[in-house]
Amino acid sequence: MADLQELFNAAIEPLPPIDDENFAPHLDSFAGRQVVLLGDGTHGTSEFYRARAEITKRLIKVHGYTIVAVEADWPDAEAIDRHVRMRPGPKASIGGVACGQEKHEPFKRFPTWMWRNREMQELVEWMREWNKDQPEECRVGFYGLDLYSMGASMKAVIDYLDRVHPAAGKEARELYGCLDPWADDPVAYGLASMQGMRDCEAQVIQILRDFLNNRLEYMKSDSLDGEEFQSGKQNAFLVRDAEQYYKAMYWSSTSSWSLRDTHMFETLARILQACPSPLHKAVVWAHNSHVGDARYTSMGFHCSEINIGQLCRQRLGPENVSIIGCGTHTGTVAAAREWDEDMEIMNVRPSRDDSWERMAHDTGVERFLLDLRRGHHDPGLRAAFSEENRLQRFIGVIYKPKTEKSSHYSQAFLHKQFDGFIFFDHTEAVKSLEKIQPATALGRGETYPFGL
């Protein structure tokens, strides 16, 4: 029987350069599912952003996808969504400032480079140009799945209720007053809760319950066919989930991770449900650690953590989901050495000998697609994969080369974690719009582990 490296070499499909018009069509067989999840092995690699952008454009143009949902905060993403779909209200482009009653520059908290970069700027402007020629109901939207905007979301709920039902807005302002001292420093709220000083769970649940119970009344006052209501509802859910998350951070990193990814999946499910047509399909951008099925990594089988990729397969059905990861061997990456420190262009150490990335490097192919679905390769490859105990590298917004194995590697069964894997042997750092990072009160444990 051939060894794993030989089977691996035989299974790969070399890819043209990303800017070649034939690059994205190589991924066509993964389309047609309700959700396509596109992962990245770092939060600061240009090739990962550019490849996902080209795949996303093709999914939109050729396969009719109308939802782009990313690992980002809902209020920031909504400013971008208003820009690309030309919706009323405060809007902004990547690197731009919103127009409206109140200025808002999106994605300005650490790590700014994760979304404020040239690669995302190009995709967002492409989406806006595409939407100009589409009927309003077919325009592609841009949505945030994460839960780190507790203060901004509280404000958004109050502002919405002030417009449609001033009495409800007043009540929400009073109930959210419990959380208000920690709106800009939610990690401190978790500590205060652990010490028995404050617990605002009942108040945030009451606001959400009232929001849902009064939805028909609120939507009557919504002049935009319920879209503003859907956003207000999502912000109310976000505050509830963030309140639970920041408390859980002090008790268990495992439960806080799972709460975060459950929130991301449930946000995605609400976006899909709110769309007027059952034909709407979503593209999800998040780190490999979020999209790759956690049951087949040490996150799941050692730590009992779950993630959005696992939840999509379990709740939507594996036949309705495609999961594609990205990896690299070496090059440069945009990252920080510690939380809240400025971005640096850092050298990525060559992948470890016991990693999947090294096996990919040893093919000698510059860039390729590995189709991991059953029936798309030699059956012996899956058996060989199952017997191999290899590591996968995860670099988030923080990179620690000196402690790389303990900080950035985790065991993974690649053939079950993903449906497809795109590999670039040598990569370059994402082109950030700024390197100086703003100070933020959010703690370094916020995106455990290491900014994922």
pLDDT in tens, 238-283: 999 999 999 988 776 678 999 999 999 999 999 999 876 666 899 9
First vs last C-alpha separation in the chain:
38
State the average pLDDT for the chain. Answer: 91
Residue 337: the pLDDT is 94
What pLDDT, on the 0 to 100 scale, is given for residue 1? 45
Confidence of residue 226 (pLDDT cuts 50, 70, 90): confident
pLDDT at 435 over 70: yes
Other CB atoms within a 10 A radius of the CB of residue 14 amount to: 11
pLDDT at 449 over 60: no
Q: What sign results for the dihedral spanned by CA atoms 117, 119, 125, 131?
A: negative
Residue 299 has pLDDT above 70, yes or no: yes
- Cβ 299 vs Cβ 289: under 8 Å: yes
User: What pLDDT, in 10s, does the model give residues 374-411?
Assistant: 999 888 999 999 888 899 999 999 999 999 999 999 99
Instruction: Supply the pLDDT for residue 340.
Output: 86
Provide mean pLDDT across the span 63-88. Answer: 96
* Residue 265 DSSP class: H
pLDDT at 292: 98
Please report the pLDDT score of residue 445 as a whole number. 47
pLDDT (tens digit, 9 = 90+) per residue, 307-322? Answer: 999 999 999 999 999 9
Cβ(320)–Cβ(310) under 8 Å? no
Q: Regarding predicted confidence, which is higher, 185 or 267?
A: 267
Mean pLDDT on 37-51: 98
For residue 371, list its beta bridge partners: 420
SS3 content of the chain, % helix, strand, coil (to 5): 45, 15, 35
- Tokens 């900080």 -> residue: 407
pLDDT tens column, 97-141: 655 545 568 998 899 999 999 999 999 999 999 999 999 888 999
Name the H helices within 317-378. Answer: 356-361
For residue 5, CA distances in Å to 8, 77, 222, 362, 369 come to 5, 42, 59, 8, 15
Percent with pLDDT over 90 in the chain:
75
Higher pLDDT, 438 or 109: 109
